[in-house]
Amino acid sequence: MSDTDGKKTLGLRGGGARPGNVKQSFSHGRTKNVVVETKRKRVVVPKPGTGKTGTGGASIGDPSRRPAGISDAEMERRLKAVQAAKAREVEEAAAREVEEKNRAEERERRRAEIEEKERVEREREESLKAKAEEDARRKQEAEAAAKAAAAPAEEPVVARPVSTKAPEAAPRKQQDRDRDQNNKRGKGNDDNRRSGKLTLNQALAGGEGGRQRSMAAMKRKQERARQKAMGGSVEREKVVREVQLPEAIVVSELANRMAERVGEVVKALMNNGMMLTQNETIDADTAELIIEEFGHKVVRVSDADVEDVIKEIEDDDKDLEPRPPVITIMGHVDHGKTSLLDAIRNAKVVAGEAGGITQHIGAYQVKTEGGQVLSFLDTPGHAAFTSMRSRGAQVTDIVVLVVAADDAVMPQTIEAINHAKAAQVPMIVAINKIDRPAADPTKVRTDLLQHEVIVEQMSGEVQDVEVSAITGQGLDQLLEAIALQAEILELKANPNRAAQGAVIEAQLDVGRGPVATVLVQNGTLRQGDIFVVGEQYGKVRALINDQGERVKEAGPSVPVEVLGLNGTPEAGDVLNVTSTEAQAREIALYRANAAKDKRAAAGAATTLEQLMANAKADENVSELPILVKADVQGSAEAIVQAMEKIGNDEVRVRVLHSGVGAITETDVGLAEASGAPIMGFNVRANASARNTANQKSVEIRYYSVIYDLVDDVKAAASGLLSAEIRENFIGYATIKEVFKVTGVGKVAGCLVTEGVARRSAGVRLLRDNVVIHEGTLKTLKRFKDEVAEVQSGQECGMAFENYDDIRADDVIEIFEREEITRTLT
């Protein structure tokens, strides 16, 4: 139907007009209409509440006038949606205008900054160039003046005006500046500077020009520009560096140490015929060639240089202070070494020892009645502890050689003398057990002469004292002799430096972990110090003296127990204090790797002949594998050395594993896999290890005396020896005649010429003194009777087992074989 303006009011179907299609509003009289554009045609929607369409339309509530299917509420909702959409569109348009304005301002700001930076740079370069030109002009004027002065006086000297080019300089500079600015604004910018909006790809890629130049490259560019402005290209002076070169080095690390580009180093390697990358390793000789090619100096270093931080420091005489002497007690087994020390210390040490010998090195400090402090080391006397006794001599100042007056010089006494001489330390002979009726000190002094030990009573220089550990006789004289010898030596040390000491003994304690008995030789060891000892390192958690008391520090010649190690060191290792834990760890790691390489090299066959020889030797040698666990490191080492001495070309003892501490399940598992017994020296197996050993039938033996352990292993190894077969010749017989007997074969009629012929014995048939048969007798008859033996001078009949080639005048040799059980000595 038509409205008052002649326009048709169309009904809205389905979704009606969309809010986004609202175009405008117009008015006819009092009524405002909303024009809605659909996909096909424009629709004029009347404003609700007017009651008419246009100026003379009908009421919206009238069904005849209202669009079909649209209620008042729906009509009102749609009109509100249209108005909201129009308001939102206006807000978005305003926001876009603000954003465009901000972007334009940002672009202008960036462009202004770039132009300002370029202007400053250009002015700086122009000033440098002008300065260079001015310097060149002045130089030329000076040369011209010098030439004019040297010319004849009648020739007038025309001075060059200073401001000849000055009027033209400013306009030319202004023209160049204008031309450069125009070029920068144009599209043909040579520097390809960024302009406009910065995109995400450009930001991630480092800008339009790719990767940004480094600061070093920018400095090099500025330096080249400055040299060029100064009027010439000056070559940069070559910096010669000292390059530290280890045994092997990575190519990139070599370039870094030379301060050269990696690409140049790789190129140099390729020129020498080596196609390598920057991540590959080259040897020291190749690296030295490259370093010399680049003009640097080579400083060869090795992995062992890490130990340079613990090199000994020479102390000044003014820093040295007197220190107590270290005395080592040496001698043969049961000659009373520990009893003598016990008498000096007034403590019953010997009562708790098994078998009457000292199983471990003991370190004690004793204060005499005169106030002098003495440090004593007590070493075992058994031959298996040779290495421990040797370590005792290395850290000692004075050796007290204990010899029993009723036993004189014995093998271990000779060993102690040799160790003392090797250590080049003075010796004092203590003739012990002087209270016994069989004591003969003169015989002791005489026997010592055979080993170049001449005592004072024999007109020598070695002090000798007759003592008795039981009655205390001569102890004061012994201490006086020690004090006199120490005074002659003038023992001094510097306590105000990093500590250095020797490990006397080390063990693995259940509650405290690895514990080392250390004798401090120089400096002062304090709680909290970081140290390296052998292949181990650690930090001092606690120091315990010989009385079991905790101390804060230990000076020279003081023995202490050190707690805080990461592992059990070897007895005899040197302890050094380092400044940092990293240094200690690095040194320990280097030593561990070096020891591993040394062990691998010692057990490796380097040639094919050695490999074949070792394989052939292993085939002919029987091995007795064992596992050794001891309470301290020194005992374990001594037992292993004793085991290595057991055996011969046929049998040997192989120690699969030796360690410190209790026997564990791991030890039982290794013993079961290898079929070896476990030897425990002063240690026991824990509960789980005992149960596992019972289930897997692994033998565990406990020992407290080293003699018993060595003897048992030697007896077990002797069982692997093959029995020795010995032949005893018991008689000879000569064949007189050969008879053929039915059912028996050939029978020799013989005369026993020597010894006796036995039926059970072995026989050999000799023809012209050549053995042609060896076997046993089938029959031995005297007349018609079978007999067990026939005496010399009697005749008998003999038949050989499975052999008939017998002739008259052949000789029969009769012998018996005897098996003799062999033992290791």
pLDDT at 588: 87
Residues in the chain: 825
Assess whether pLDDT exceeds 60 at residue 342: yes
Is the separation of the CB atoms in 813 and 732 below 8 Å?
yes
Note the pLDDT tens digit of each residue in 603-654.
555 556 665 666 666 666 678 889 999 888 878 888 888 888 887 777 888 8
Q: Which helix H or strand E contains 578, and what residues bound it?
A: strand 574-578
Residue the block writes with tokens 């565990």: 700
pLDDT at 707: 77
Backbone phi, psi, residue 693, to 5° = -65, -40
Strands 724-741 and 745-758: antiparallel
Assess whether pLDDT exceeds 60 at residue 15: no
Q: Which residue has the higher pLDDT, 436 or 209?
A: 436
3-state secondary structure of 628: strand
What does 431-443 look like in DSSP terms, one character per residue? EE-TTSTT--HHH
3-state secondary structure of 275: coil
Assess whether pLDDT exceeds 70 at residue 270: yes
Q: Which of 225-234, 592-601, 751-760 has the lowest mean pLDDT?
A: 225-234
Average pLDDT, the chain: 77
Tally Cβ neighbours within 10 Å of residue 590: 18
Nearest to 502 by CA among 424, 598, 576: 576
Is the separation of the CB atoms in 262 and 251 below 8 Å?
yes
| CA gap 109, 101 in Å, rounded | 12
Degrees to nearest 5, angle at CA 589 with 585 and 595: 145
Strands 427-432 and 373-378: unpaired
3-state secondary structure of 634: helix
Note the pLDDT tens digit of each residue in 498-549.
888 888 888 888 788 888 888 888 889 999 999 999 889 999 999 988 778 8
pLDDT at 618: 60
Backbone phi, psi, residue 362, to 5° = -110, 145
Q: Burial-class residue 68 by CB neighbours within 10 Å (0-12, 13-18, 19+).
A: exposed
Nearest to 569 by CA among 657, 652, 628, 632: 632
Q: Please tell me what DSSP assigns to residue 722.
A: P
Considering the entire predicted model, what is its pTM? 0.52
Distance linking the first and last C-alpha atoms of the chain: 138
| CA gap 760, 654 in Å, rounded | 42
Residue the block writes with tokens 């490999």: 611
Nearest to 341 by CA among 430, 434, 254: 430
Nearest to 261 by CA among 269, 252, 270: 252
Strand partners, 745: 741
| CA gap 585, 567 in Å, rounded | 12
Cβ neighbours of residue 710 under 8 Å, at least 6 residues apart? 384, 639, 642, 643, 646
pLDDT at 291: 92
Within 294-440, residue ranges assigned H as helices are 337-345, 386-394, 411-423
Note the pLDDT tens digit of each residue in 536-559.
999 999 998 877 888 999 888 888
Please enumerate, as own/partner, the contacts of 668-673 that have beta carbons within 8 Å and a separation of 24 or more.
668/692, 668/693, 668/696, 668/698, 668/700, 670/627, 671/627, 671/698, 672/696, 672/698
| CA gap 49, 53 in Å, rounded | 10
pLDDT at 590: 84
pLDDT at 60: 43
Note the pLDDT tens digit of each residue in 306-341.
666 677 667 777 778 888 888 888 887 777 787 888
Assess whether pLDDT exceeds 80 at residue 709: yes
| CA gap 241, 257 in Å, rounded | 8
Average pLDDT over residues 684-709: 88
Q: Using a pLDDT cut of 70, give the percent of the chain over it.
A: 74
Assess whether pLDDT exceeds 70 at residue 178: no
Average pLDDT over residues 433-440: 85
Strands 530-533 and 559-565: unpaired
Cβ neighbours of residue 742 under 8 Å, at least 6 residues apart? none
Is the separation of the CB atoms in 563 and 541 below 8 Å?
yes
Note the pLDDT tens digit of each residue in 130-161.
888 888 888 888 888 777 766 544 444 444 44
Is the separation of the CB atoms in 782 and 800 below 8 Å?
no
pLDDT at 71: 83
